Amino acid sequence: MKEEFEICFKSAGGLFDPQSKEVKKLVEFSNNTIEHIKSIYTKMPPIYFNLINNNSLNATAAIFNNNYLIGVNIGTFDIIRDLFLKNLSCKSNALFKCTKLSLVNTKNGLEYDHSFDPDSIMFDLNYSKLLSQQTTLVGKFVIYHEICHILRGHVDFIKIKHNLQIHEVNTIIDTKIINTLQTLEMDADSFATNRCLNDFFQNQSIDFRNGIYKDLKTFIYYFSYSIYCFFRIFGFYELNISCVKSYSHPPPAIRISMILDNIATILIEKNIKNKDEIIATSMQATRDAENDLSKITYFNNEFFRVQEVYANPELTNYLFQIVNNWKNIKGELEKYTFSELPN
């Protein structure tokens, strides 16, 4: 399927090759994550995963000549590492100067700037475990999200019905299918959130076993913190309702709100004793993340955009619309899915 991958993603940059030891590890990690899901959902078809030679932030789930492919831009992993490296350097020692993220704005959107040398960053080694856990957590979230697009039939549905591919970079699209795409993105975020939490609960994943997450509350704090940081890099946009409806993805502030709601639902369903305290922790984590990000980016603190989702009835209603639309799409997805669909 390597050949199909090359052809399918040629215009996006093609296969990222040759691969260093570190990059090979990323591919192996992603393949292990796919295998883990395949062991749970045995009807899932084979998926070929690889990296795309592109420095921007994007990932794609596709079907090409009947082969299922997931391509993640190498820039996505570079940016995730840069994000937590600079973040933890800035937090770990008051003597270290906070360094801004190595991002350049190009015609293709934000790209990782390779002129930066990661070894130049002063770093407190006590934080190295946290660095690896946070990058792993976000990496895992991205892969689970892409797998869901294939597993639950999104890719086939969008290809057959609308002749489109699923990209993670936000685009303005034909408003006729807007709710469909945003609802599918919500589903993929929900699947990824559930899988990451499940890995913690089951303690099956090696990445969590010897981790720094000593209890559920700490885990939820870092999960919410890390995912918030990642979405925030995509930028917050004006939450004008007519613009919001024309995006391929729900705006980051709405996505984050849905993920926090999703976490709360899981904790309630599992009847976790100190759930209220943990839910409050997840909110605090997003607040802290916004604060910390303003030190390593040129972003202003715009936490009010997340609060606006809950305070503005137009936006709250729109959020419900994305969620409720699942009922309409679910029936159509039944033809394409490789797993049972949630209610």
Residues that bind Zn ion (CB under 5 A): 185, 188
| Rounded-to-integer distance, Cα 22 and Cα 160, Å | 37
| Rounded-to-integer distance, Cα 231 and Cα 226, Å | 9
H or E stretch covering 50? strand 47-52
Contact 262, 198 (CB under 8 A): no
In the bound complex, what is the minimum distance in angstroms from residue 230's beta carbon to Zn ion? 13
DSSP letters, 300-317, are ---THHHHHHHH-HHHHH
**Contact residues for 322 (Cβ-Cβ < 8 A; gap 6+):** 179, 182, 183, 186, 250, 254, 258
In the bound complex, what is the minimum distance in angstroms from residue 152's beta carbon to Zn ion? 11
Q: By Cβ distance, which residue is nearest to Zn ion?
A: 188
Q: Would you say 143 or 278 has its CB closer to Zn ion?
A: 143
Q: Would you say 185 or 207 has its CB closer to Zn ion?
A: 185
Q: Distances in Å between the alpha carbon of 51 and those of 22, 189, 284? A: 12, 21, 34
Q: Would you say 92 or 337 has its CB closer to Zn ion?
A: 337
Q: Distances in Å between the alpha carbon of 91 and those of 71, 220, 293? A: 32, 19, 11
| Rounded-to-integer distance, Cα 271 and Cα 264, Å | 10
Q: Would you say 44 or 278 has its CB closer to Zn ion?
A: 44
In the bound complex, what is the minimum distance in angstroms from residue 310's beta carbon to Zn ion? 24
Q: Would you say 41 or 123 has its CB closer to Zn ion?
A: 41
Q: Would you say 82 or 185 has its CB closer to Zn ion?
A: 185
In the bound complex, what is the minimum distance in angstroms from residue 329's beta carbon to Zn ion? 14
Backbone angles phi, psi at 237, to 5 degrees: -110, 165
Let me know if 329 is exposed, middle or buried by CB neighbors in 10 A (0-12, 13-18, 19+): middle
In the bound complex, what is the minimum distance in angstroms from residue 56's beta carbon to Zn ion? 15
Q: Would you say 186 or 267 has its CB closer to Zn ion?
A: 186
Q: Would you say 48 or 213 has its CB closer to Zn ion?
A: 48
Nearest Cα neighbor of 306 from 260, 242, 243 is 260
Q: Would you say 185 or 199 has its CB closer to Zn ion?
A: 185
In the bound complex, what is the minimum distance in angstroms from residue 229's beta carbon to Zn ion? 18
In the bound complex, what is the minimum distance in angstroms from residue 277's beta carbon to Zn ion? 31
In the bound complex, what is the minimum distance in angstroms from residue 61's beta carbon to Zn ion? 7
Please give the structure tokens belonging to residue 313.
């009835």
Per the rule left: phi > 0, alpha: psi between -120 and 50, beta: everything else, 150 is alpha
Place of tokens 């030891």: 21
Contact 339, 44 (CB under 8 A): yes
* CA–CA–CA angle 164, 153, 248 (5° rounding): 40
In the bound complex, what is the minimum distance in angstroms from residue 142's beta carbon to Zn ion? 9
